[in-house]
Amino acid sequence: DPQPVALVERKADLGGRWVWRCHIDFTTPLPAVEEFLRRYVPSYDAVVFSAPAFSRDFGVPQVQISPSIDPLSDKNRELEPGQVTAVLENHGIDPARPVVTQISRFDYLKDPVGVVEVYRKVRRYVDCQLVLAGGGATDDPEGMKVLEEVRAAAAGDPDIHVLFLPPASDLEINALQRGSTVIMQKSLREGFGLTVAEALWKAKPVIASAVGGIPLQITHQYSGILSYSIDGTAYYLKQLLQEPRYARRLGENGREHIRNNILITRHLRDYLLLFLSLFHEGKDIVEL
């Protein structure tokens, strides 16, 4: 990520091959940030981005490697139905009624207030509850302000559950995702959107913005829904709540996509191939 990029200044002392791994949305960086990065990135032997849209010319080889999820981790492993219900009930969520969830840090770029707007448009026609769950990041000074804005937007509706989660809430997030009817990820910018992969792995129908790495995970109307606006998102949310068979099919296709492309095994293979290629400079083909 940008924060450790300057470590490459030690390359001459330490030797070895150096790769800069960029996890963030790099479609339109602030000029000052890009200028800062350009002081360091050309010293690396290769650059890794999460999506082709982020690629730019740094004068060094570039590789696209999607992040991944670990299906055996607490965040993603199978849970007993009782565990899922218990977490929902602990938070006052009714497991017998539809649950729409967005799991995200409270950050403007995740547009949680936009999610509340979508919910309000849909709630007029279809019964559902909204869960906005997430913590803050220690490097994000705006988090608390965003949380307050979300609480204000949600005020007065007992069906909106704003959950501020402590760090290491993996099992709880797993249960919230599994207990949801539809998962949203209404980001305005997104590096990759691991929450989308986590939800699809649980075969959940996902509606997510077509930004950053999300289109690498969702094929519109096949393995989820890609949306562009509040109204569009509301339209599809209403549809998925009203057409559970269609919603289930999207989730099942999504799970297969994650199985084939976004698990840790594929990730490991990609990295091994990248490392190998660094020791075969100038070759067009490197085989594992």
**Residue 111 binds ligand UDP (CB under 6 A):** no
**Residue 181 binds ligand UDP (CB under 6 A):** no
Query: Could you tell me the smallest distance in angstroms from the CB atom of residue 135 to ligand UDP?
Result: 3
- String of DSSP letters for 123-189: HTTS--EEEEEE---TT-TTHHHHHHHHHHHHTT-TTEEEEEPPS--HHHHHHHHHT-SEEEE--SS
**Residue 218 binds ligand UDP (CB under 6 A):** no
**Residue 195 binds ligand UDP (CB under 6 A):** yes
Phi, psi (rounded to 5 degrees) for 224: 145, -170
Q: Which is nearer to ligand UDP, 70 or 256 (CB)?
A: 70
Query: In the window 119-148, what residues touch ligand UDP (CB under 6 A)?
Result: 134-135
Which stretch in 55-63, 119-127, 165-173, 236-244 sits in contact with ligand UDP by CB under 6 A?
Answer: 165-173
Dist CA 151 CA 163 (whole Å): 10
Dist CA 190 CA 106 (whole Å): 14
Residue 69's SS3 state is strand
**Residue 102 binds ligand UDP (CB under 6 A):** no
Dist CA 264 CA 70 (whole Å): 5
Q: Which is nearer to ligand UDP, 45 or 103 (CB)?
A: 103
Q: Which of 46, 42, 47 is nearest to 59 (CA)?
A: 42
Query: Could you tell me the smallest distance in angstroms from the CB atom of residue 199 to ligand UDP?
Result: 9
Q: Which of 197, 227, 209, 223 is nearest to 76 (CA)?
A: 197
**Residue 192 binds ligand UDP (CB under 6 A):** yes
Residues 122, 123, 127: CA angle, nearest 5 degrees? 120
Which stretch in 10-18, 56-64, 97-105, 138-146 sits in contact with ligand UDP by CB under 6 A?
Answer: 97-105
Query: Could you tell me the smallest distance in angstroms from the CB atom of residue 218 to ligand UDP?
Result: 13
Query: Could you tell me the smallest distance in angstroms from the CB atom of residue 190 to ligand UDP?
Result: 7
- Which residues of this protein are in contact with ligand UDP, per CB under 6 A? 75, 103-105, 134-135, 165, 169, 173, 191-195, 198
